[in-house]
Every structure is written in C-alpha cells, then in structure tokens.
Amino acid sequence: MPADKPAIGWVHLGLGAFFRAHGAIYVAEAMQASGGDWGILGVSLQSPGTRDAMAKSDFGYTAVELGPDGQSSRWIEVIRDVLVAPENPQAVLDAMADPAVHVVSLTVTEKGYCHNPATGRLNPDHPDIRHDLENPLPRSAPGFLVRALQMRKDRGLRPFTVLSCDNLPENGRVVRGVVLDLAKLIDPDLAAWIETEGRFPATMVDRIVPATKPEDIAFVATATGRADAAPVMHEPFRQWVIEDDFVDGIRPDLGAVGVQMVRDVTPFEHMKLRMLNGAHSSLAYLGYLSGHETIADAMADPALSGFVRALWRDEIIPALDPPPGEDLAAYAAALAQRFSNPGIRHRTWQIAMDGSQKLPQRLLATLSENLAAGRASPRLALGVAAWMRYVGGVDENGQPIEVKDPLAARLRSLSDGADSPPEALLAVTEVFTPDQARAFAEPVSAAYDGLVADGARKSAEALA
C-alpha cells in the first residue's frame, strides 16, 4: 500500500476475521496491482470489540498464514476506519451514501439476512426488521442497505453494488430478495428503483479462517515485534469467484490478483457449499460428538476421515455438475488435505454454530436431490441426525453442550419433549420444507436411532 492511503471506496458490513483474511487482502492487492481508491470502511453491526482492537494499530493488522510446515505473516493496510453501528447508525448511513463508495459488501452470517432459510425470503416478523420498518435508523444489515440506497436515490446518486460474501447458495439473489422485500414495505418506488438500477452479483468465497485466540496474539507479538490486538489466522488456500455484474462496471481490478470473474457463479458455489461446507458441518457434529476438538483432530480419526471421503465420493459428487475447469475428485482430495492441516485449529464447536441456518444449503439440498433421483444417502442422513443429536444439548457422555443457534432454545425444547426427536425437529419449517420432512423421515430417523444406540464414531465408521 502507498504511504498516502487511498480514499474510501468500499464499505463492509460485519467486519470479522473472515473478510479481513480474505476479501480485504484481495482488495489491497488489487490496488497494488492496478491502483484506484478502494480503501475499506468496516462496520461492526453489534459490538465495538473489533473497532477497539484495530484502532490500537490505526486499523492495520497482521495476516498469519498457517501452513502444514509452519507460519508466515504479512501486514495489511486497507481498512481505513471502523464504525460501530449501534453507537451511531446515522454515521454508517452517511458513509454508505457517500458518492465515492461504489461497493458495499457484507459477511453477516446466514442469520444476519433476517430471512427464512427454507424459503430465502425476508422474515417480516424478525425483531430487527420490525424495528427497521418503524425507525429510519436501522439495526439489521438489510435495513442499512435499504435506508442507504434510499438516501442515494433521494440525492440523485447511483446505487452502490451489494456484494454478499456469506456462504449462502445464490447469495446475490438472497440479498437482493430481502432488500427488495424490505424496500417494498418501506417505499414501493424505492423498491422499483433498486430492482432496475441495483446490482447484486453472487459470489463464492473460500478460505478456512479459525477464530483468533489469545495465544495467536502472543505469537504475533513475538514473531513480528509488533503489538497487534486483532490479527487474523488463515490457511494458505484461497478462492473468490464473483459474477462480473457491478453498477456501471465500477470495481477494483480483482481479476488481476486471482479472483475468478465469471458470468454464473452457481456451479462454483454448489461445489463449495456442498463439498467443503457440507463435509465441514458433518464433521463438526460427528467430530464433536466423538470427542474431537478440531476438524484436524477429526480427520486424524480413520473412522471420520473414511466417512467424509465416502461422503464426497458416493453422495455429494454424484449430485454435482462440475464448474468449468474443475475436477471434483481432485477438489475432494485437496479438501481432505486442507481439513487435515495441523496448523489450522478450527474447532468443531465453532463450525457447529448456527446449524439451523446452515443445514438447508450445506446438506439438505443434496439429500433432497439424491432421494429424488433414487440415490441412497446414508451419510448425508447421518450428518443431519448428528445435528439433531447435537442440538439436543447433551453429548454422548451426558455432558451439556453449549449450543449457539438462533433457534437453540426451541430446538432443545422440541427434542426434550418428543418421543421421536427427529420427527419433532423435521417439523421446524425454518429448516425443513414439508416435502423434505416427509422425504427425510425414514433415513434420518434410522440414522438418529443408530447414533443413540452406537454413538457417533461407530456410526461414521460403519459408513466409512
């Protein structure tokens, strides 16, 4: 980065470790390669923790690559400032309405879209959406997008491009849908303008970024001699696929630094969501229940590594059309190596979070397609059953599980109060469609009964 820092041209909602270890680095490299004012303004939508930690180093930070043979680090200076939305929502809106800003990206996790994961539509009864309909100063990510676009329309400005970086199938369509749904409730003319002039390119993001731990901060201080309260840790691999559909074509030169700019991201996202994220979630639930703290630990267990390789080979790959230039068997082999990287301490408990939001795109779509095609999918069914066992809140040794999920209390209550927990949980329409509930009843119930009788490790080993 040049000494005179670039002006802000990009705003990111939900500034966490993932974007700083992935998208922000690409943007910094694109400016190094081709210039442009693409400094990033980060926005924390909930708490000041990231802002306060990054402010100590003027918003620069260390990115540490965790390879199987050791670590390397680099200093990243692309974040210009971080705002905390609850402290001053108007300042966030003013920044997003600045005519110099051309892209607003977001990583707010599945639950941040305030939508029904089973349908992809806005949930108008979500507490934050109810607030945003009644107040001009929003709380939710969709609320900030709509109100900032409203300001730009009222001022005669062009809209910004909305770029979702979350692991959602057709994430561009999802964010466009919730924005239009909310805009229609606020001002139908605004919704018509967004629908005509706005752009919501879909993306596929891929890099394993474990949560930063106190010992990581200590390591960075020793290795670099620099006190950094907000470093990010990441694997060597990275991939970003983006549909090249930006408002007026204005964007950084991302293609110059390895971003795949494509016409249709769908086959890439299906490959990643189903092969990486589907396997990750299955390993997280089965691994946690088997007593493994990390994904690498789970992959070191022959029962679980054999299970996940068979899951890719026999159940996920047969349901996929390979993206242009991709070999799915080679992709699976590369995933196995990435999951086994001992430098990445990615906790099974962390990946298990928010399963009610993640399951539809990671596991359920593939299971539905396989059953409709007459392909048996006992491993996918076991992954779903392991989630059901996990959200019951008690592990195989009778110890409590700290379940982090928007529906955690309800899922636990349903599980505790049912003669058949699978039957009760399949009725949760935020996760399963009625058709899925009917189709999954037999294979998922059988897998769940096996989990209760034999435990997670033996159940996985039987399918390895």
Return the domain boundaries, the chain. 8-262, 266-461
C-alpha separations of 361 from 110, 272, 281, 335, 432 in Å: 10, 11, 11, 18, 11
CA-wise closest residue to 181 among 238, 140, 230, 235? 140
Count other C-beta atoms under 10 Å from residue 372's C-beta: 11
CA distance 430 to 427: 9
Low-confidence ranges of the chain (pLDDT < 70): 1-3
What residues contact 427, with CB distance under 8 A and at least 6 apart?
Answer: 414, 437
Which tokens hold the place of 445?
A: 């119930």
Rounded-to-integer distance, Cα 14 and Cα 22, Å: 14
300 and 291 Cβ atoms separated by less than 8 Å: no
pTM of the model: 0.84
How many residues does the structure list for the chain? 464
350 contacts: CB under 8 Å, gap ≥ 6: 210, 211
Helix residue ranges, H only, 352-405: 355-359, 365-372, 378-391
Which pLDDT does position 118 carry in this prediction? 77
Pair 132, 85: CB distance under 8 Å: no
Q: What is the pLDDT of residue 1?
A: 44
Contact between 395 and 289 under an 8 Å Cβ cutoff? The reply is: yes
CATH number of this structure's domain 266-461, picked from the four choices 3.40.50.300, 1.10.1040.10, 1.20.950.20, 3.90.1170.50: 1.10.1040.10
- Contacts of residue 454, Cβ cutoff 8 Å, sequence gap at least 6: 462
Residue 282's nearest CA partner among 301, 302, 300, 305 is 305
Quote the CATH superfamily of domain 8-262: NAD(P)-binding Rossmann-like Domain (3.40.50.720)
Give the pair of three-digit tokens for residue 367.
């299971």
| pLDDT value of residue 92 | 98
